[in-house]
């Protein structure tokens, strides 16, 4: 398998074999876009901790089917965050509905 060529970046001045090397530009092209794998920030919940409630979150899309997530969270904003991390689609939602209970 062929090695990918490096994207364009500046190399700082340094020493190579005890000889000074001036700074220079190396590679060509743009840096690849990294897509992060989101994760839930809080610890995993086992059962229903004190101060948490059950929420039903519906994520509605323009062209895709609605996704539903039952979530245990301490607040509405945390419930939305947990549902958005759990969803399958990467398309931005049109609307998010949260119902406590």
pLDDT tens digits for 14-31? 999 999 999 998 888 887
Residue 31 has what pLDDT? 79
State residue 20's pLDDT score.
95
Instruction: Provide the CA 9 distance to its chain's centre, in angstroms.
Output: 25
Burial state string for 59-81 with b = 16 or more CB within 10 A and e = fewer than 16: beeeeeeebebebebeeeebbbb
CA gap 6, 29 in Å, rounded: 8
Let me know how long the chain is.
101
pLDDT on residue 70:
92
State the pTM of this model.
Answer: 0.50
């Amino acid at each position: 398998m062929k090695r990918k060529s490096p994207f364009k970046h500046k190399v700082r001045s340094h020493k190579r074999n005890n000889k000074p090397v001036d700074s220079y530009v190396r590679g060509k092209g743009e840096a690849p876009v990294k897509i992060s794998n989101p994760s839930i920030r809080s610890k995993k919940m086992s059962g229903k901790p004190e101060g948490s409630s059950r929420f039903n979150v519906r994520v509605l899309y323009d062209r895709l089917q609605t996704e539903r997530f039952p979530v245990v969270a301490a607040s509405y904003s945390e419930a939305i965050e947990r549902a958005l991390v759990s969803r399958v689609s990467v398309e931005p939602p049109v609307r998010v509905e949260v119902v406590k209970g």
